[in-house]
Amino acid sequence: MLEKDIQEVLFSEEQLKTRVNEIAQEIDRDYAGKEIMLISVLRGSFIFMADLCRAIDLDCTLDFMSVSSYGKGTSSSGQVQITKDLSEDISGRHIIVVEDILDSGNTLSYLLKILEHRHPASIRLCTLLDKPDRRVKPVEVHYSGFTIPDAFVVGYGLDYAEKYRNLPYIGILKPEVYGG
Ligand code: PRP
Ligand code: MN
Ligand code: MG
């Protein structure tokens, strides 16, 4: 049972669904008449990506990229590695990078820089969660689901030591689980 490790439910399935639909509508409005490409940053964003893309009405293509900076710990090492690159060429295309959480900003500031060098027509960031208290590198966010306090959150794609991604809601992990 995963529930025993959760201190508090931060966002229920219902709350997540409502907010994801709102973001999708915002994207539909902003890019009306255009074709967009969603880039999911694996692995954390896979569930958000799946729900977001199904709530978007526009012509849309999808691609996936894998970056890792956390390893098994609870805070970013600052060392970002691309473990899987995109399959598609993004030049001249309207890109939205889809992330589960913006924390220190290390992952996204690095990633956005790399993607900008590939000359997309435009590039925006869509993150489900934003934890501004922990920001080390500034990152410009265009779509943000929720601003959250500095607590260790899991579920809906977010892991601790690769577990809890399959929780259907987002919860705060009990500190004793990670020795906090
Ligand atoms: C987590 C999260 C974001 C990133 C945010 O990914 O999914 O991608 O860290 O942290 P930052 O703003 O401090 O860089 P992680 O490296 O744990 O890989 P994962 O998505 O496979 O869990
Ligand atoms: Mn991630
Ligand atoms: Mg992780």
Tokens of 52: 């977001």
Q: Distance from the CA of 69 to the center of ligand 3, in angstroms?
A: 8
Per residue in 114-141, pLDDT tens? Answer: 999 999 999 999 999 999 999 999 999 9
- CA-to-CA distance for 34 and 72, rounded, in angstroms? 39
ipTM for this model: 0.98
- CA-to-CA distance for 125 and 143, rounded, in angstroms? 6
What are the sequence ranges of the domains in the chain?
13-151
Q: Looking at ligand 1, which atom is closest to the CA of residue 131? A: 12
Tokens of 50: 């799946």
CATH classification (class only), 13-151: alpha beta
Q: Distance from the CA of 65 to the center of ligand 3, in angstroms?
A: 14
Instruction: Find out whether 130 and 169 touch, Cβ atoms under 8 Å.
Output: no
Per residue in 158-175, pLDDT tens? Answer: 999 999 999 999 999 999
